Amino acid sequence: MTKEQKNEIIEVLKGKFSQYNNFYVTNTESLTVEQVSKLRRACFSKNVEMKVAKNTLIKKALEALGNEQYNGMFDSLNNVTALMFSENPKEPALILSSFRQDSKGEKPELKAAFINGDIYAGDNNLVALTKIKTKNELIGEVIGLLQSPAKRVLAALLHHHEQAGNGGAEAPAEAAAE
């Protein structure tokens, strides 16, 4: 690979790291070509970009960004590395988990994940990453929580109004009977 080709790859990777707040570093060593193709298709169908690059080029791209928040990712750059970029922080974790279940294997292994500035190192974090809530899920929960007290107040007022309405309707009938 020429120096120009390496620089092109570094520039592409820098663009991806800048574009996405979430990326996963996985070990795809020992996967067959067919399995890697299947993983790529799964990523494509879920809007997750998968890139395979040399560890030294990935490290140079991260270093070139000059952002110290990536320093914790360098330890994960060994063996065969595939990067998964996504807007949704948990989608790559779901893809990896599903792929493992389907293939009844331990690969691809999660080496590290960079989620909105936080680093999750090690394969033991995969289950936790599948449970991360997306921004839209959190907003929905907050809206639900905010609406709940208002709904209770409205229900209580409506119930009180109905009771007062029934009581008020009976009183004139009783007064008219006297």
Contact at 8 Å (CB) between 71 and 21? no
Handedness of CA 13, 16, 21, 25 (dihedral sign): negative
> What phi, psi does 117 have (nearest 5°)?
95, -10
- Residues 115 and 26: their CA atoms lie apart, in Å, by 14
Per-residue pLDDT of 104-162, as tens digits, reads 878 899 999 999 888 999 888 888 888 877 777 777 878 877 777 777 777 778 887 78
Q: Which 8-state DSSP code applies to residue 125? A: G
Contact at 8 Å (CB) between 10 and 79? no
Per-residue pLDDT of 7-17, as tens digits, reads 999 999 999 99
Per-residue pLDDT of 130-145, as tens digits, reads 887 777 777 787 887 7
